[in-house]
A and B are shown apart, each in its own frame.
Chain A
Amino acid sequence: MIETPSVPSSSGGRQGVPRWRRAPGQPGLPRNPLLLAGGAIAVLIVVTAVFAPLLAPFPADAGSATHPFAVLRPPSAVHWFGTDQVGRDVASRVIFGARVSPVIAVFVLLIAGVIGIPLGVVAGYFGGWLDDVIMRVTDVFLAFPALLLALVLAAVLPPSLTTVTIAIAATWWPWYTRLIRGQAASVAGRPYVEACRALGISRTRIIFRHILPNSITPLIVQISLDVGGVILTASALSFLGLGAQDPTPDWGLMVAEGQAYFTTAWWLVTFPGLAILITAFGFNLLGDGLRDQLDPRRVMLR
């Protein structure tokens, strides 16, 4: 997530101080405890992902290692979260899992942004029949619950992490198109954009220097709010067997594999699922808090 907002701001960062930082009445630093908690969890996940080989007690167990004499051991001082059906250390696999679905989320949001943002800018800035065509197509995509379309797509493609990424990204971009289109259309009507046009400034320059930077703030908020949702969707697809396959330490897959031993070995399902919950919770807290900070209207009410 820390990396995600840099996607749009790479094109909008040249505006200097972002608009929302200059808003009057804006309290300087977040005093929202939920935002701080979310930020802490997000940092924890990123650190876990980066330093997984150092943090995991048995790094080899994240792969295809098997220990036939240590299967289904309950949690202990050696195996904090117990061992799985082939004797692998569950804690190590959960730690390495931070490198799977959170990374998928980054890629999904990247792809969705790369598809959704240009379409939204084109629809909002140019209007006319192009706008109509683009928006009716997004309407059709938005008529699906995202998980349903992702399920159908994942069902027809061979199961893999790439499939999960493609399937979710294919359902996610229309939200960004719709969001950016509304912003771009309202910015395009402002007098200073009209002035630019009168001065003979090229369309490309208007779009990149004026339309995009001024439409991007709500998108950053939305993207940060979406990290948790993408992680949940990705784990759901993996749980159904449409995503990562066995040696991959994917949290959703681990829950699915543990299901068969659930009544005797509760730790197999509990800990990977808890990791999904904590990750989604952290990023959702962060996104929610960011929205409150970046939406001056909401802030002034408090």
Chain B
Amino acid sequence: MTAYIVRRCALAVLVVAGVVILTFVIAHAVPGDPAATWAGPHASATQVASARRFLGLDRPLPVQLVSYFGGLLSGDWGVSIHTHQTVLSDLGAAAPATLELVIVALVIAVLVGVPAGLWSAMRPGRAADQVVRAGAILGVSMPVFWMALIFQLVFADRLHLLPVAGEYSPNLLLSRPLAHRTGFGVLDALLTGNWPMLGSTLTHLVLPALVVAAYPAGLIARIVRAQVLDDAGGTHVQMARALGLPERTIFARYLMKLAWNPVAATLALVFGYSLVNTFLVESIFDWPGLGSYASASIAALDTPAILGVTLFVAILYVAANLVADLVQAALDPRIALR
């Protein structure tokens, strides 16, 4: 088991190094001159040249890559060209809002997807099963940006049930401002006992979280159903049946339990997918997270910021996969032996 953990961690480090090289090479193909952007529209040629020297863009590409690697390791992720802040502090400021959104969405996805998958696996081929399968496939076929706009129109603009956009109601900034503790809106409101703000953050989360949850909910329902049906023919189930255990017990004790394993792997996969989906959803809901930061960086041809946010999301994704692998190995010791 220890050998497996070490091997798995080493692989994750290698992958992250590869991701750094790949993003670096791609980002340095950006058209336009970042030094000119940095110096501003009215800068003279000498000012642009000194900006280029300041940003280190006058050195050969491999040298820049090596120094970028060194910087990453020492916590220097460069300076964003469009915000003039360090990329790491920008990412730190944007990450909690996105993580909050994605985590709430994944909780919704598990709460919907797992029961739906189990329910449909209990009656394969029947009408209820077909409905759940069609619903799950509909979830994974949903263009998120479109769903976000439709939800915004129907539930916020027309029915006035939920707020249109933002992280909380700006009116509360005067009466009950949000104290900054963790950066997670809901958590901060809860920790400081700011109840009006808690209500506001929660209602503002509903629409974007539902939109981000559509894909993972559908995928989880499909995976759970497939896993249960795969296991249903297994020898351990035949054994349990031969022993005369009631079907209900077999289902609860042997089939449901095994289905959690692929759910762990799927969660890691959809975590990364949902992070990127927030790139499409956040701008629509005016959500101040990584997605909004990424679109602003791309629009401004902000190389260090594009690199930083890509790398950050990739690292989160690799880490999630690592955790999922280790959790799976803990749940199913056979995996570590492979």
A residues engaging B (CB < 8 A)? Answer: 33-34, 37, 136-137, 139-141, 143-145, 147-149, 151-153, 155-156, 158, 228, 232, 235-236, 239-240, 252, 255, 259, 262-263, 266, 269-270, 273-274, 276-277, 280-281, 284-285, 288, 297-298, 300-302
| Interface contact A284-B137, CB-CB below 8 Å | yes
Take A143-B318, A280-B143 as given contacts and tell me if A301 and B298 are in contact as well, using a CB distance cutoff of 8 Å.
no
| Interface contact B133-A277, CB-CB below 8 Å | no
Take A262-B153, A269-B149 as given contacts and tell me if A152 and B310 are in contact as well, using a CB distance cutoff of 8 Å.
yes
| Interface contact B31-A158, CB-CB below 8 Å | yes
A123 to B75, CA, bound (A): 37
Take A34-B130, A136-B18, A284-B141 as given contacts and tell me if A240 and B31 are in contact as well, using a CB distance cutoff of 8 Å.
no
Say yes or no for B232: interface residue by CB 8 A criterion.
Answer: yes
Q: How far is the CB of A41 from chain B (nearest CB, A)?
A: 10
Say yes or no for B279: interface residue by CB 8 A criterion.
Answer: yes
Say yes or no for B1: interface residue by CB 8 A criterion.
Answer: no
Take A143-B19, A262-B149 as given contacts and tell me if A232 and B143 are in contact as well, using a CB distance cutoff of 8 Å.
yes
Say yes or no for B265: interface residue by CB 8 A criterion.
Answer: no
Closest-by-CB residue of A relative to B283 is A240
| Interface contact B141-A281, CB-CB below 8 Å | yes
29 CB-based A-B contacts, threshold 8 Å: A33-B130, A37-B134, A137-B18, A140-B18, A143-B16, A143-B317, A144-B19, A144-B310, A147-B277, A148-B275, A148-B279, A148-B314, A152-B306, A155-B298, A156-B26, A156-B31, A158-B31, A235-B143, A236-B144, A236-B145, A240-B295, A255-B145, A259-B149, A262-B149, A263-B153, A280-B142, A281-B141, A298-B226, A298-B229
| Interface contact A269-B230, CB-CB below 8 Å | no
Say yes or no for B45: interface residue by CB 8 A criterion.
Answer: no
Inside 8 A of A136's CB, which chain B residues have their CB? 14, 18
Inside 8 A of A285's CB, which chain B residues have their CB? 134, 137
A147 to B130, CA, bound (A): 30
Nearest first, the 8 A-B pairs at minimum CB distance are A273-B146, A140-B18, A280-B141, A281-B141, A145-B272, A155-B298, A145-B276, A147-B276
B residues engaging A (CB < 8 A)? Answer: 11, 14-16, 18-19, 22-23, 26-27, 29-31, 124-125, 130, 133-134, 137-138, 140-147, 149-150, 153, 157, 222, 226, 229-230, 232-233, 272-273, 275-277, 279-280, 284, 294-295, 298, 306, 310, 313-314, 317-318, 321
Inside 8 A of A252's CB, which chain B residues have their CB? 143, 145
| Interface contact A284-B140, CB-CB below 8 Å | yes
| Interface contact B317-A145, CB-CB below 8 Å | yes
Inside 8 A of B153's CB, which chain A residues have their CB? 262-263, 266, 269
Q: How far is the CB of B109 from chain A (nearest CB, A)?
A: 16
Closest-by-CB residue of A relative to B269 is A145
Inside 8 A of A298's CB, which chain B residues have their CB? 226, 229-230
Task: Select one of B23, B143, B277 contacting A277, CB under 8 A.
Answer: B143
Inside 8 A of B298's CB, which chain A residues have their CB? 151, 155
In the complex, which of the residues B144, B147, B284, B298 has the most CB atoms of chain A within 10 Å of its own CB atom? B298
Task: Select one of B18, B26, B144, B313 contacting A145, CB under 8 A.
Answer: B313
| Interface contact B276-A281, CB-CB below 8 Å | no
A277 to B144, CA, bound (A): 10
Inside 8 A of A273's CB, which chain B residues have their CB? 143, 146-147, 149-150
In the complex, which of the residues A37, A155, A297, A300 has the most CB atoms of chain B within 10 Å of its own CB atom? A155
Inside 8 A of A151's CB, which chain B residues have their CB? 276, 279, 294, 298
Take A236-B143, A284-B140 as given contacts and tell me if A143 and B26 are in contact as well, using a CB distance cutoff of 8 Å.
no
Inside 8 A of A270's CB, which chain B residues have their CB? 150
Inside 8 A of A274's CB, which chain B residues have their CB? 146
Inside 8 A of A149's CB, which chain B residues have their CB? 22, 26
A151 to B294, CA, bound (A): 10
Q: How far is the CB of B145 from chain A (nearest CB, A)?
A: 5
A141 to B19, CA, bound (A): 8
Closest-by-CB residue of B relative to A139 is B15
Closest-by-CB residue of A relative to B23 is A152
Inside 8 A of B142's CB, which chain A residues have their CB? 277, 280
Closest-by-CB residue of B relative to A140 is B18
Inside 8 A of A232's CB, which chain B residues have their CB? 141, 143
Take A144-B317, A148-B314, A236-B280 as given contacts and tell me if A288 and B133 are in contact as well, using a CB distance cutoff of 8 Å.
yes
Take A156-B29, A269-B149, A270-B150 as given contacts and tell me if A281 and B138 are in contact as well, using a CB distance cutoff of 8 Å.
yes
Given A151-B276, A300-B233, 18 other A-B residues pairs in contact with their CB atoms under 8 A:
A34-B134, A139-B15, A140-B18, A140-B19, A145-B275, A148-B275, A151-B298, A228-B140, A239-B145, A239-B280, A259-B149, A277-B138, A284-B137, A284-B141, A298-B226, A301-B124, A301-B232, A302-B229
| Interface contact B137-A281, CB-CB below 8 Å | yes
| Interface contact A144-B233, CB-CB below 8 Å | no
| Interface contact A277-B146, CB-CB below 8 Å | yes
Task: Select one of B18, B144, B229, B295 contacting A139, CB under 8 A.
Answer: B18
A240 to B145, CA, bound (A): 10
Q: How far is the CB of A227 from chain B (nearest CB, A)?
A: 11
| Interface contact A148-B310, CB-CB below 8 Å | yes
Closest-by-CB residue of B relative to A278 is B141
Inside 8 A of B138's CB, which chain A residues have their CB? 277, 281
Q: How far is the CB of B281 from chain A (nearest CB, A)?
A: 11
Inside 8 A of B149's CB, which chain A residues have their CB? 255, 259, 262, 269, 273
In the complex, which of the residues B133, B143, B145 has the most CB atoms of chain A within 10 Å of its own CB atom? B143
Take A155-B298, A285-B134, A288-B137 as given contacts and tell me if A148 and B150 are in contact as well, using a CB distance cutoff of 8 Å.
no
